[in-house]
Amino acid sequence: MKRLIPFVSALAVVAAALATAAPASAATLTVSISARSGTVGVSQTISATVKDSGQDIGGGVGTVTFTANGAQIGTDTVGGQRGTTASINWTPQSASPSVNITATFDDGTSDTTSVSIASVSTSASITTPGSAGTSTQVSLAAQVRAKVGSYVPTGSVTFYTSNGSAIGTSNLDGNGRGSIAYTTPAAAGTVYLYVIYNGDANATASGKSGSDSIKVTASASSLSLVAPQSNFVGSPSQLTAKVNPASGTGSVAFSANGSALGSANVANGVATINWVPASTGNFTLKAVYSGGGGVAGATATNGVTVTQPLKADVITLNPAGAAGPWPVGSTQGLANGATVTFGVSSSSGLPVTLSVVGPCSMSGNTLTVNGVGGPCTLTASTPGGNGYAPTTQTYQVVTGVGNQTASVTPAASGVYRVGAKLMLAPTTARTSLGNAINWSVTSGGKSCKIKRTGGNVKVNLVKKGSCQVTGSAPAVPGQWAAFTTGRIYTVR
């Protein structure tokens, strides 16, 4: 037992020393990157370890700031329960043979490493109407995607016939899609088409896509089947069969990979149904027109792809000057006449549209309350796309009585000499509702007199004492509060 006492005492001394040790004045920072080379649009993990050169274990307590070529890409904290390692996820947005990644601790200690970011590989696909009449203009659509990551290719895509002849080029939209108008040949037959994406600064050219075909017929009866090229599990897609000539009657039966989806009657040459894919994969859609009204029956097919379910979008509505965004589905109170301008964004990056019903109006992103009555319902929505579902969020605005205002500046309250004539307002002054302002002496009427002369309302200080002058306009019951403003003058 006696031998344990010195050992316990030694531990106590060490613990006391650790507890009172001063924080490190400098740290040696090590940056460790998960991949020496990355790809545009593909998330990488960047980590940095902060260690105190004066200690065997542990390190500084503070924040590590990460930058790429000098631009901040994230921060993380170290110390205490956070440990000695800071890390962030970084998704490169542009290709470069050399990007300097720097991690800087609070005390200025830093470390830098260089990585290369490669252009992302792409794939392209083409969609045709499946069938069309001779010498008929149809729409050809292309979809370009990055094979990995979140980058959406830009630039252009070129359409070709199977013999390698270019028939048109389209710039890509914000979802990587392009389209051209194409006129089918004058002779019947089958036309095979493909597309090639031409690449951009951050994405490589795609090479030839798989081919799609248009069955060109000289018959007076033809059928085309239009369907989205990209579809998602659990999300409805509209399938449209178009009968030519449009005078045809009857019905169209739809199927996917041989399984019946349903049928619809033809109206004005069109029959549509909604299809909700239950699994991923490639599907051959088929439309069989029964014929009718003197128009022969016809069949059309189209190949589509079904991928993972759409991601939910989140819209943020941030009123200017407010402490934070409005919670989704919340109820807010605004006075009659109030205006609120919102900063809007979505997690998908898609554009946000604002609309309102009730005694309110929208102009761009600015909401104006136009009266008091039932609540206003504000709706924020995104159209969906790039893997995100269309999204709608609503907010309730309870309207309240507003305040009238007026651009008048009566002489300031204070001490004035007998005989002074103080300006109150022009006689034409009106409130924001167009109401005339009535000026009166509400106390001290022996010292002050209201006079209207020369197009102005003035107060004449006629006797020593004190008076209170008030300008007022009536309320609009239930809509606008009364307007009032006042001054106190001391006459010496």
SS (HEC) of 423-467: EEEECCCEECCCCECEEEEEECCCCEEEEEECCEEEEEECCCEEE
pLDDT of residue 19: 37
Q: Would you call 77 helix, strand, or coil by DSSP? A: strand
pLDDT of residue 23: 44
pLDDT of residue 108: 87
85-117 per-position pLDDT tens digit: 899 999 999 999 999 999 999 888 888 999 999
Q: How far apart are CA 350 and CA 388, in angstroms?
A: 9
The class (CATH top level) of 122-307 is mainly beta
Lowest mean pLDDT among 371-375, 398-402, 426-430: 371-375
Query: Angle at Cα 74 formed by Cα 71 and Cα 80, nearest 5°?
Result: 140
Lowest mean pLDDT among 4-18, 183-197, 391-405: 4-18
Contacts of 476 (CB under 8 A, 6+ apart): 433
Domain 414-491 has CATH 3.40.50.300: no
pLDDT of residue 109: 87
* pLDDT bracket for residue 134 (50, 70, 90): low
Match domain 315-400 to its CATH number in 2.60.40, 3.40.50, 2.40.360, 1.10.3470: 2.60.40
pLDDT of residue 135: 66
Q: How far apart are CA 146 and CA 206, in angstroms?
A: 9
Consecutive H or E run containing 5: helix 4-20
Token pair 């007022």: residue: 472
Give 65 or 220, the one with higher predicted confidence: 65
Plot region of 381 (φ>0 → left; ψ -120 to 50 → alpha; else → beta): beta
Residue-averaged pLDDT of the chain: 88
* pLDDT bracket for residue 291 (50, 70, 90): confident
pLDDT of residue 294: 66
Match domain 22-118 to its CATH number in 3.40.50.920, 2.60.40.1930, 3.50.50.60, 3.30.930.10: 2.60.40.1930
Question: Is the predicted pLDDT of residue 362 greater than 70, yes or no?
Answer: yes
Same fold flag, 22-118 and 414-491:
yes
pLDDT of residue 34: 56
Question: Is the predicted pLDDT of residue 10 greater than 60, yes or no?
Answer: no
Question: Is the predicted pLDDT of residue 22 greater than 50, yes or no?
Answer: no
* pLDDT bracket for residue 33 (50, 70, 90): low
Domain ranges within the chain, ordered by starting residue? 22-118, 122-307, 315-400, 414-491
Q: What is the pTM of this model?
A: 0.41
* pLDDT bracket for residue 57 (50, 70, 90): low
* Residues recorded for the chain: 492
